[in-house]
Structure 1
Amino acid sequence: MAGIGIHELMIECGVAFGTSGARGEVVAMTDRVCYGYTQGFLTYLAEQGEFGADRRVAIAGDLRPSTPRILAACARAIRDLGGVPVFCGYVPTPALALFSFAEGIPSLMVTGSHIPADRNGIKFYRPTGEVLKVDEAGISRQIVSFPADAFTDAGALAQDEVLPPITDVEAAYAQRYIDHFGSGALTGMRIGVYQHSAVGRDLLAAVLSALGAEITLLGRSETFVPVDTEALRPQDIELAREWTENGEFDAIVSTDGDSDRPLLSDARGSWLRGDVLGILCAAGIGATSVVTPISSNTALEMSGKFLRCRRTRIGSPYVIAAMSEEQLVGSSIVCGYEANGGFLLGTDIAGANGSVTRALPTRDAFLPLLVVLANRDLSIAQQLEKLPQRYTFSDRIAPFPPGMSERLFELLKAGEEEDQLALQTQLFGHFAGEARSIDLTDGVRATFLSGLVVHLRGSGNAPELRCYTEGDTEVIAKEANRLALDQVQSMFSEA
C-alpha cells in the first residue's frame, strides 16, 4: 500500500493528533490508525536522532477494555521499524515516564485519561520529556506505510501481536516517594483509597501503607469509570461524603484513569479542587517559581507565597515550556500544576534523610497527594484555611460539536476589547455584573467588577465546551457556572 501522511491519516480517520497524543472514539482508533500514528512518531524521532542505536520503546496502558488491542498495534509498529517494544504493563502514566526518562528511550502510554471507555488515546514521550508544540508539526508531516496484507478492510491487524513479558517500572516509582517522605511519614493517618478503575489504584495503596498510613480500600470497579478530576460526577461527590460520615478517615485519595491527576478530600469528604491542591503542594516543596494555566485559581498570586507566578495556555506542553524558561532565569525550585491537579516537578528537590527527588516534568498524581497528607502540623482543612478564600468550579456542555464551538468563539472575540467586554456584560451581567477585563490566552476569560470570573474554552480532547468560574464562595462559583452554561445553551437553542 502507498504511503500516507499523518495529517492525511488524521483527516481520514477523524482521530485528532496533537501534543496530547492521539485521542478519539475506539471504533475510529483501528489497529491501522494506531499503527500509523506510532510509526509517524518514531520516524520523526529518527529524524531528530532520538530513535537510534538502542531502538527500545517503552509502552504501557490503562485499564480500559480497548487498551490491550491498541498496545498490540503499537508494538507491531515498533517492531516493523526495527524497534524493540518494552512492555511495562498497566501502570500510571508518570511511572512509565519516570522509567523512560531514566533510560533515555521513547515511550507511549495507551490511555484516554478521564474520558469514557468508548474513547481511548495514545500519549507519546520523547526520551527526554513530553512531546511539545514544536514537535507536533514534525510528526504531522511524516509519511507512513503499512505492510502488505497486514490489515483487514476494517483496519484490524490480520494476526494477533503478542506483547513481550512485563518490565517492572512500578517499584522505582513507588520507591521515589518512600525515599522522599520517609517510611513513617504518614503513621497514624487513616486514609480511604477510592480505587474505581484507576490504573494506579493498587500502587497508591501500597505507597500509603509503606509510609505508615492505615488504609481502607473503597469503590473498586472492574468496569471502567470515567473519573474526571475537573468535573466530578455527582456520585463521586456523594460517595466521599458517605465514606467520611462516621469520622473514620483523615482523608480520601484517588486519581483519574491513568493516575496522573489526583483527587484528595478532607476529613468531611469534600474534594479539593486540583488547582488548590497544586498551590498547597507548591508551597509544601518550597517552590520559588510556579507555572499554571490561565484557568487555575487566582489564590496562587493572592497567597504571596511564591517569588514568581506564570500563566499559560491550558495543556501540559505549555506549562513545561514555561517551566523551562523559569529555570533559565535561575529560579531554584520550579514546578507547575494544572487545574486538574496534575503536578509537574521541573527541578530536583530535597527529600527525607538527605535524599534527592529528581525532576519529573510530566503530570503526576502521587506527589501532590503525599505532600499535603505529610503536613502533620496542619490538617487538610487547616491548610485550606490559610489560603485566600477564592473558589473555582468547572463543568461542561457535552456534546458540543467543534463547529458550534467555532461559532461561539468567533462571536466572543469579535471587535475590539471594549466590544468584547460589552458582550460579556450583555451575556453574563444578569448574575456577574459589569465585565472589567478580558483574557484571550486560551478561550475567553472575563473578570467582572463583582470579582466573578467566567472562562469559556473548547476542549481539545472531546467535543465539549468547558466552563470555569471563580468567586468568593463555593456556592457563588458553582451557581455562576450553571448560569453561564445556561446562557450559552440558550444562545444556540434560539439559533
Structure 2
Amino acid sequence: MTSPSPDRVDLSALIKAYDVRGVVPQELNPEVARAIGAAFAEVVVVPEAQGRPRVVVAHDMRPSGPELVAAFAEGLTGRGVDVLRIGLASTDGLYYASGALDIPGAMFTASHNPAQYNGIKLSRAGARPVGQDSGLTRVRELAGDYLAGGLPQDVAQDERGTISDADMLGDYAGFLRSLVDLSAIRPLKVVVDAGNGMGGYTAPAVLGTEAGLPALPLDVVPLYFELDGTFPNHEANPLEPENLRDLQRAVVEHGADIGLAFDGDADRCFVVDENGDPVSPSAITALVGLREVAREQAAGRTPTVIHNLITSQVVPDLLTAAGARTVRTRVGHSFIKAQMAEHEAVFGGEHSAHYYFREFFFADTGMLAALHVLAALGGQPHPLSALAEQYQPYVASGEINSRVTSVEEARARVVEAYVTQQGAGPVTVDELDGLTVSHWDGQPQWWFNLRASNTEPLLRLNVEAADQDIMEKVRDDVLALVRQEA
C-alpha cells in the first residue's frame, strides 16, 4: 500500500459517512471512480478475499452510470480483482447479489438526488455495509492519494482481474417471493409510482410476471415506469410530499386498494392508503415488525427489532407489548445495519422508509417491505386506512430544517430552556444522535429530537406528541428558540 501523499486530493465532499455522492462530472467522474475502485480493492476486497477476489457491480438508470462502472472496474481489475457486472439493478438488487454470492458489492446510484448527481454504495461480502467506521474513511484517503500521486502499478498481466456479465433480476425476484407468500391473498389493485427510477425495473419482475414467476392476485397500475435518470415527471424522492401527489391522485382515480412509491434506486418504499392518504413509515415499521416478531416467536426464538431514534413511539410500544426486544439506534443505514447484525435482529425500520430484514442479509429493501404490507392488507377484509389506524395513534411534525448562524448557540438555547431549567422533573435527555428530550413518562406526552446536519449549518427537528395541539406547541416553542437571532 502506498504511503500518504502530502498533496492528497480532498474527497470529503464526495465520500461521506455512509456512501459516495456528488455532482457529475465535477466531483464524480471516471478518473475519480477508477481511484475509488483501486482503493476499495486495497482496503476491503483483497484483504478479505477467500480465494480469488471478486466484486459485483451494478448501476441505476442515470446516464452517467455505465461510464463510471467501467472506470471503477478498471481500478479493481488492475489490482487483481474479478468484476461481475449485473447491469441495471435497484440498490436492494445489488445487496441481494452481494449477499447471495457472498462477495463485496458496489452500487452506482445517487438514490433520490437530482439528475446531475451520481454516487456509489459500497458493501463487504454478504451485503455488509462499508461506512465511515468500517472502511470508507480509509477508502477516501487512499483514493485521494491515488488522485494526487497516480494509481499504483497494475498487477502482472496474468494476474489482472477479469470482467464478466450476468443477469440476476430473476433470482432477486424469486428470492423475495420466497420470503412472503402472496398467492392466497384477496385480489388487490395496486398503483406503483416508480418516479422513472429503478422501481420501474423491479416491480414488473417481483409483483408481475416479467421474471417468469407465477402471476399474483395483484392488478398493478404503473406510474412512471420508464427508466429516465433525468426524472421528467417528479423527483424520485417520496419523502417530499409534493412527489406523492401523482400517486395519491391515481389511487383515488383508479379506486385502488393501495399505492406504493419507490425512490430513485428503489431501496425505499412509501405507502398510500385507498383514500390517497400517506401511511407513515413508522406505522409500516410497526406493521411489518409485528409480522416478523410473530414469525420469530412461532419458530421458538425471542425477536429483536431495531428502530432509529426518531421513529414513532408506537414502534417500541407495540413491539415490546408483543414480546419483542427493541433496540434504539442512531439515524443512518450503516449504523442500523451494524446493529442488525450485532443483535441478530429479525427486522429494522427507519422514519425515512428504509426497512431492514435479517433474511435479506440484514440489508434494506423497500420491495420486501411492500410485499409484507400487501400480504397484511390482502390477508384481511378491511381497507388499508382501517388497518393502518392502529399503528398511527400519535402525531408527528415530520423533519423540519432550520438554517442557523451558529449550530452550537442555537442548540445551547434549547438545552437551557428544556434541560437546565427543568430540574429533576419527568424530562429525560440523551445524546445518542443529536439532542433528544422526552416528556413521554409525564403529562402531556411529547418528545423531540434536534440533530445537526453533517454538511450544512442546519438543525433538523422532529417532534411527536399524544395529540395535535401538544405537538404544535412543542414544535413552535423549539423552533422559536432555534431560529432566535443572537
- State the TM-score, normalizing by the size of structure 1: 0.79
User: What's the CA shift string for 1:36-95, capped at 9, x where partnerless?
Assistant: 222222201256333x64232111122233333322321221122222222111211111
Matched, 1:239 2:280: no
CA distance in 1, matches of 2:188, 2:7: 54
Name the counterpart of 1:226: 235
Residue 184 of structure 1 aligns to a residue whose secondary structure is coil
CA 1:211–1:310: 2 relative to 1, 3 Å: same
The answer as to 2:308 corresponding to 1:293 is yes
Aligned length: 444
Q: Are 1:367 and 2:368 counterparts?
A: yes
After TM superposition, list the pairs within 5 Å mapping 1:33-48 onto structure 2.
33-46=32-45, 48=47
Match of 1:258 in 2: 265
Matched residues, percent identical? Answer: 21
Kept in 2, the 8 Å contact 1:186–1:213? The answer is: no
Residues 280 and 383 in structure 1, CA contact (< 8 A), matched pair in contact too:
no
CA separation of 1:57/1:463 partners in 2, compared to 1, >3 Å: closer, same or farther?
farther
Deviates further, 439-448 or 452-461:
452-461
1:205-216 correspondence to structure 2 within 5 Å: 205-209=204-208, 210-216=215-221
Hey, what's the Cα distance between the residues in 2 that align with 1:387 and 1:185?
24
Q: What is the CA-CA distance between 1:99 and the residue it aligns to?
A: 1.1
SS at match of 2:310: coil
Aligned-residue offset at 1:316: 1.9
Contact preservation (8 Å) 1:6, 1:141: no
Are residues 1:336 and 2:348 paired?
A: yes
Give the match for residue 350 of structure 1: none
Q: 1:206 to 1:140 in 2, by over 3 A?
A: closer
Instruction: State the alpha-carbon separation in 1 of the partners of residues 119 and 260 from structure 2.
Output: 25
Structure 2 spans left out of the alignment, 5+ residues: 152-161, 209-214, 297-302
Q: Is the 8 A contact 2:410 2:481 kept in 1?
A: no
Change (3 A) 1:392 1:67: farther
What is the aligned partner in structure 2 of residue 159 from structure 1?
A: none
Counterpart of 2:255, as a letter, is E
Check 1:317–1:451 CA distance in 2 against 1; reply closer, same or farther (3 A cut).
same
**Matched-pair contact (CA < 8 Å) for 2:194–2:264:** no
8 A contact 1:40–1:139 mirrored in 2:
yes
Correspondences of 1:54-453 after superposition (within 5 Å): 54-128=52-126, 129-132=128-131, 133-140=133-140, 142=142, 144-145=145-146, 166-182=165-181, 184-209=183-208, 210-220=215-225, 222=228, 223-224=230-231, 225-229=234-238, 231-234=239-242, 236-246=243-253, 248-286=255-293, 288-303=303-318, 304-327=321-344, 334-346=346-358, 358-375=359-376, 376-377=379-380, 378-387=382-391, 389-397=393-401, 400=403, 407-409=406-408, 411-412=410-411, 419=416, 421-422=418-419, 436-448=427-439, 450-453=444-447
Name the counterpart of 2:452: 458
* Contact persistence 1:24–1:121 (CA under 8 A): yes
Distance apart, 1:280 and its partner CA = 0.8
Give the 3 Å change call, closer, same or farther, for CA 285–46 of structure 1 in structure 2.
Answer: closer
Moved more, 457-466 or 168-177: 457-466
Q: Residues of 1 paired with 2:476 and 2:165: CA distance?
A: 46
Q: After superposing the two structures, state which structure 1 stretch, 64-73 or 87-96, moved more.
A: 64-73
Alpha-carbon distance change, 475 to 193 in structure 1, aligned in 2, over 3 angstroms: farther
Instruction: Provide the C-alpha distance between the structure 2 equivalents of 1:96 and 1:36, rounded to a whole number of angstroms.
Output: 21
**Given the superposition, is the C-alpha separation of residues 451 and 183 from structure 1 closer, same or farther in structure 2, using an over 3 Å criterion?**
closer
Q: What SS is found at the alignment partner of 1:245?
A: helix
User: Compared with structure 1, are the counterparts of its residues 476 and 92 closer, same or farther at alpha carbon in structure 2 (3 Å cutoff)?
Assistant: farther
Q: Partner amino acid for 2:19? A: G
- Residues 436-485 of structure 1 show CA distances to partners (whole Å, capped at 9, x for unaligned) of 23221111222345323322223447775433221234686578657755
Contact 1:344 1:362 in 2 (8 A): yes
- What residue number does 2:300 align with? none
SS at 1:134's partner residue? coil
SS in 2 for 1:242: helix
Residues 363 and 370 of structure 1, relative CA distance in 2, 3 Å threshold: same
Mapped partners of 2:101, 2:461: distance in 1: 40
Q: Aligned-pair RMSD on alpha carbons?
A: 3.4
Is residue 284–residue 372 contact of structure 1 (8 Å, CA) maintained in 2?
A: no
Indicate if the aligned counterparts of 1:195 and 1:218 stay in contact, CA closer than 8 A. Answer: yes
Amino acid at match of 1:104: D
Given residue 251 of structure 2, which amino acid in structure 1 is its aligned partner? T
Other structure's SS at 1:17 match:
coil
Bigger CA drift: 242-251 or 478-487? 478-487
Query: Relative to 1, partners in 2 of residues 1:298 and 1:226: Cα closer, same or farther, differing over 3 Å?
Result: same
8 Å CA contact 2:200, 2:224 repeated in 1: no
Uncovered stretches (5+) of structure 1, i.e. residues with no partner: 151-162, 328-332, 347-357, 426-433
Structure 1 residues 111, 475: CA separation in 2 closer, same or farther (over 3 Å shift)?
farther
Q: In structure 1, how many angstroms separate the alpha carbons of the residues matched to 2:326 and 2:368? A: 20
Could you say if the C-alpha distance between residues 462 and 265 of structure 1 is closer, same or farther in structure 2, counting changes exceeding 3 Å?
Answer: farther
Bigger mean CA deviation after superposition, 383-392 or 122-131:
383-392
CA deviation after TM superposition for structure 1 residue 294, in Å: 0.8
Matched residues in 2 for 1:45 and 1:95: separation?
A: 21
- Per-residue deviation at 1:293? 1.1
